[in-house]
Amino acid sequence: MLRRHEILAKPHWQAVAGHPVLPALPLEELRALDSLVDFMRMHGCASLTGSDCRAWARLNGGPDGLEQALRAVEATEGPAAPELGALRTARDMFAARMDYASIPREPRRAYSRTLSVAVADLPAKWQSRLEDIRARRDDGEFRLADDILERMTRKLCQYAHHMGQIGLDCELTLGGLQAFYDFETTRISNRGAPLRPSTILNTFSDLRYYMRLSGDYPADLIAEIGRLLEKLGDRAEAVVSQKYAALAKIDVKAIRPRAQDILDSVAKYTNPAQRHIRRNRAVALAIPPTTPLRREWHELRFGRDLVWADGRYRLRDYKLRKTRNRRWREPYPGSVHPDVQHFVDAVLLQDEDPKYLDALRVRAETESWPLFSHPDGSLVAENYVSQVWSAELGTGAHIARTIVYDILFALGQDATRGGMIVNDHRSDAATANYIGRQARIAAFAAAERARDEIFDAYGVAEDN
């Protein structure tokens, strides 16, 4: 950092070299004032506005510099200095964002386990088998995503906890699994509702996966779980149909206009924290249909993941979390479509003048700013984007991948293959699972029309 004599040696300080206050001004205040003057010269600011001051603060260390610049300007130019109004306005806007009432200020409650044991409290044999499974996976013996391995471990911890609660030995037995099934199908989730069949299905799939990989359990027990999973699958399918019912109610073409309405509504709010939240909601709604990243939107950071290149926000060297640690995994070449990238621009700019956009892009990438954050700078929850979708559209953002297939399925087989790439799916089974019923119905209707045209052309009665 520059020392006092190096700052005062700059050309723009020579005209006031004899100013009585400068030699005694605290060094941090002098540095803030010098940085602000440099900023004004670089960006052609003849006079300061609140936007200029906010942009300077965001590009030069945050709001703390505003207080130092305020004291420096008042000390050098007096309490009537015209720049003080803009600096105070910027300071007050930052304070309003930091103090927004909807952000909890209390420390989080101490976490206590109520449904699981710690991994260290699992039976020693299970811990050893889990380490062995991870090592075999890393050696390439089989494919197993980190998320699935973590989930498998978590389900074992939950199973072990329940066995302790009901006084059974901590082992995977038919009786223990039946007791755990009874518990899972009757307990109430944190949302105040019974667990979904798909949740229970995943739980027992993970337990069976462990049993198969560990090699410690007889085939007939694993087959018994398989029969249970078939029943659970039928129940889960009925719930999955609700997702497609929700999709059928969504006018896909209305998603982007709805996001735009939210972005346009920012001007109605006087509180900068509320404006920040509206911009977040707009980008959370606009981006998923063009960049379907499962539940990973919340963790994107500029520079590390998202970069501005060739006139577009692009994912750089990004591997989707579910499969990123597999050896064959290639980076996902996603990007933000140009039609919706202005939503990302709005999040970067906040209330600043658009002339600062390029500088903010550079700083965001240099400092790895998160794409999503609360008004006070803290990170949003993992399911933030899905919460926005649920509130606005009645279903979570996971439906975005189905929307991609619905649109591309109607365009033909080649386009559907393209949808696999966009959604980062590598198997036909995944594609079949995500092609919505709405698209299938549309394709069937098109086939019926083609059939009718053929019969009409040949004058053949349809009932012959």
pLDDT score recorded for residue 317: 78
Q: Which tokens is 33 given?
A: 């004032």
Q: Report pLDDT for 8.
A: 80
Residue 25 confidence (pLDDT): 87
* Residues across the chain: 464
Q: What is the pLDDT of residue 305?
A: 87
CB burial of residue 431 (10 Å; 0-12, 13-18, 19+): middle
- Two tokens, residue 217: 């359990």
Question: CA dihedral defined by 281, 283, 289, 294, rounded to 10 degrees?
Answer: -70
On the CB side of 316, CA atoms within 13 Å amount to: 14
The C-alpha atoms of residue 66 and residue 73 are separated, in whole angstroms, by 10
Q: What one-character DSSP code corresponds to residue 120?
A: G
Q: What token pair was written down for 39?
A: 């900023």
Query: What pLDDT is attached to residue 9?
Result: 83
Closest CA to 371 of 253, 455, 282: 282
* Residue 209: predicted pLDDT: 92
Residue type, 150: E
CA distance 310 to 326: 30
Between CA 418 and CA 378 the distance in angstroms is 36
| pTM assigned to the model | 0.64
| Cβ contact 96:273 at 8 Å | yes
Which of 244, 223, 273 lies closest to 401 in space, CA to CA?
244
Q: How many whole angstroms separate alpha carbon 391 and alpha carbon 388?
A: 5
- How many other β-carbons are positioned within 10 Å of the β-carbon of residue 460? 10
Give the span between the Cα atoms of 120 and 312, in whole angstroms: 47
Residues 68 and 29: their CA atoms lie apart, in Å, by 5
Label residue 384 exposed, middle or buried (CB < 10 Å: 0-12, 13-18, 19+). Answer: buried
- b/e code 254-272 from CB counts within 10 Å (16+ = b): ebbebbbebbeebeeeeeb
- What is the token pair recorded at 322? 């579910």
pLDDT in tens, the chain (464 residues): 788 878 888 887 877 767 888 888 889 998 998 899 999 999 998 888 999 999 999 998 678 888 999 999 999 888 888 899 999 999 988 888 887 755 544 444 444 567 899 999 999 999 999 999 999 988 888 888 777 888 999 999 999 999 999 999 999 999 999 999 999 988 877 667 788 777 888 899 999 999 999 999 999 999 988 888 888 776 655 554 455 555 555 566 778 889 999 999 999 999 999 999 999 999 988 887 766 566 677 888 999 989 999 899 988 877 665 555 555 556 666 788 888 899 999 999 999 999 999 999 999 999 999 999 999 888 988 888 888 877 877 665 565 555 554 544 444 444 444 444 444 445 555 445 544 444 544 544 454 455 445 445 444 444 44
**Greatest CA separation for the chain:** 105
CATH number of the domain at 119-249, please? Answer: 1.10.150
